[in-house]
Amino acid sequence: MGACFNEELRSVMTRDRRLRDLKQLGLVYMVYPGAVHSRFEHSLGVYFLAGEAVEKLQKYHGLELGVEPIDLQTVKLAGLLHDIGHGPFSHLYEREFLPRVLNGCSWSHENMSVDMIDYIVDEHHIDIDSGILKRAKEMILASSEIAVPQRTGEKCFLYDIVANGRNGIDVDKFDYIKRDCRACGLGFNFQFERLMETMRVMGDEICYPAKEYLSVQKLFATRADLYRTVYTHAKVKAIELMLVDALVKANSYLNISSHINDPSEYWKLDDTIVKTIETATEGELKESRDLILRIRRRDLYQFCNEYAVPKDKLEHFKAITAQDIVCSQKASGVTLKEEDVAVCNVKIDLTRGRSNPLERIKKLEKLRRRMTWDSKDYESGDKFSVSDDRISHLLPTSYQDMIVRVYSKKPKLVEAISEAFENFQLKTYGVKAQVHETPEKKKRRR
């Protein structure tokens, strides 16, 4: 039944072209032309790696794990469908657009994936055991720390494979990191195959040899590099800010946000919404069309400057707004308005905010165990966290960056916004962390 079910479900996904029309990296392709791969490709990759992970554990442990064919099918099913609830343009839809149009929105693509699975099963009359479906959905939700305890039955280690909320090491990351690096032409020095070969089950969770901590560190460091150089590239963020503005302006007419709780309508929403706006003739969409036309012509919001929030200020950092910048303007010939300024607060971390991903949070051990390691290559059966005195001194001591980046929506205001941004830094931190010169300053220097 399991094999037949997966074949039928893959057939449904093939007929439903939605994941093919969702680019894995959203608008990144406008800066990195090779980044045109889709969430469909990524989902197939996670499906394959999820099966590989289970089979490697079975090969090493044999019958002691009690893994049955139905368990293998369940994990692969979770891998195949884990991203089916994603909105248009990667994470932009839920992280940037929805908060602008829905106050206090707590919607997530993981929850929508669960709803979409139920919709697909009902719509296509798929015969599947309810227990399999329940566990697969729990595995998809396992990326959330809060969801970690919500696991059905034994063999909890299976929940560490697709979306690991305990320590962040999962086949989802294995696939997208390698796939994104290749698509963007970046070097890739993390070999996830090594972790796949050395992972073992101890105490009903997946563990790794202590000597592999550098491999784990390289996984998280590569992910952080992708965030810094690709996902949050200054030009990529400029394009995203413009598209979000376009979607917000079009929302009241197209009701882009109205179906986030209705899978039967939500599945129709994908990246082609841009073409819908661009080719529309209605006057209500003129402002949105103009913004998309500016993107096409590369008439982007102009980058003014950025600064990294000091490490000692990260804990109490509050997102900077356009109002903060405008209120820092000194008397000049130009009066700035909030609608002239776009601010992007970029957070880059290894995987869990300001915490070292190699450490276990012992105070919340049952809920938030981070990483457990085998002490002697699985000989002793003891698990422990890798302490600071056992790791390389070349590894970072800080695990999160917060970068505040400011853009001007009108080219003529770049100089005024840049000066207001400098004033804001001086007022907030007592220094001006000027990183980039404005075009006007470059002219004066020449």
Q: Which residues contact 356 (CB under 8 A, 6 or more apart)?
A: 350, 399
Instruction: Say what the pLDDT of residue 6 is.
Output: 57
Q: How far apart are CA 325 and CA 344, in angstroms?
A: 12
Per-domain residue ranges for the chain? 2-233+355-397, 302-352+398-446
Catalytic residue (one of 109, 125, 316, 436): 109
Instruction: Write down the H helix ranges in 280-388.
Output: 286-296, 322-326, 365-368
Q: Which of 148, 126, 128, 127 is nearest to 139 (CA)?
A: 148
| C-alpha torsion sign, points 146, 140, 69, 132 | positive
Q: In what order do the strands lie in the sheet with 373-374?
A: 200-202, 205-209, 373-374, 383-384
Tell me whether the CATH fold assigned to 2-233+355-397 matches the one assigned to 302-352+398-446. no
Task: Note the pLDDT tens digit of each residue in 283-316.
Answer: 999 999 999 999 999 999 999 999 988 888 888 8
Angle subtended at Cα 124 by Cα 121 and Cα 128, rounded to the nearest 5 degrees: 40
Rounded Cα distance, 313 and 319, in Å = 12
The burial of 145, by beta-carbon neighbours within 10 Å (0-12 exposed, 13-18 middle, 19 or more buried), is given as middle
Q: Which helix (H) or strand (E) holds 415?
A: helix 414-429
Give me the pLDDT at residue 342, please. 97
For the chain, the distance separating the N- and C-terminal CA atoms, rounded to the nearest angstrom, is 74
List phi, psi (to 5°) of 403: -115, 125
436 catalytic? Reply is no
**Distance between CA atoms of residues 421 and 320, nearest Å:** 11
Q: What is the pTM of this model?
A: 0.86
Distance CA(289)–CA(442), nearest Å, equals 33
* Sequential pLDDT tens for the chain (446 residues): 555 655 655 555 554 578 999 999 999 999 999 999 999 999 999 999 999 999 999 998 888 888 999 999 999 999 999 999 999 998 999 999 999 999 867 789 999 999 999 998 898 888 888 889 999 999 999 876 444 445 555 788 999 999 988 888 999 999 999 999 999 998 877 788 988 998 888 888 888 887 787 888 888 889 999 999 999 999 999 999 999 999 999 999 999 998 898 999 999 999 999 999 999 999 999 999 999 999 999 999 999 999 988 888 888 889 999 999 999 998 777 899 999 999 999 998 776 555 555 664 222 233 233 445 554 444 555 554 555 555 554 455 566 889 999 999 999 999 999 999 999 998 888 776 655 666 566 555 55
Report the CATH fold assignment for 302-352+398-446.
Alpha-Beta Plaits (3.30.70)
Q: Rounded to whole angstroms, how far apart are CA atoms 108 and 22?
A: 16
Nearest in space to 255 (alpha carbons), one of 239, 276, 234, 237: 276
Distances (CA, A) of 290 to 59, 114, 287, 299: 58, 36, 5, 11
Q: What is the pLDDT of residue 10?
A: 59
Tell me, what's the pLDDT at 255? 92
Quick check: 207 and 61 in contact, CB under 8 A? no
Burial category of 280 from C-beta neighbours within 10 Å (exposed 0-12, middle 13-18, buried 19 and up): middle
Q: What is the pLDDT of residue 168?
A: 85
Distance CA 178, CA 42 (A): 10
Task: Give the pLDDT score at 295.
Answer: 97
Q: Is 153 left (phi over 0), alpha (psi -120 to 50) or beta?
A: left
CATH number of 2-233+355-397: 1.10.3210.10
CA distance 59 to 49: 15
Alpha helices in 39-186 (DSSP H): 39-61, 69-81, 92, 98-101, 109-123, 130-141, 171-183
Q: How many CB atoms lie within 10 A of CB 117?
A: 24
Q: What is the pLDDT of residue 366?
A: 31
Query: At 201, phi and psi to the nearest 5?
Result: -105, 125
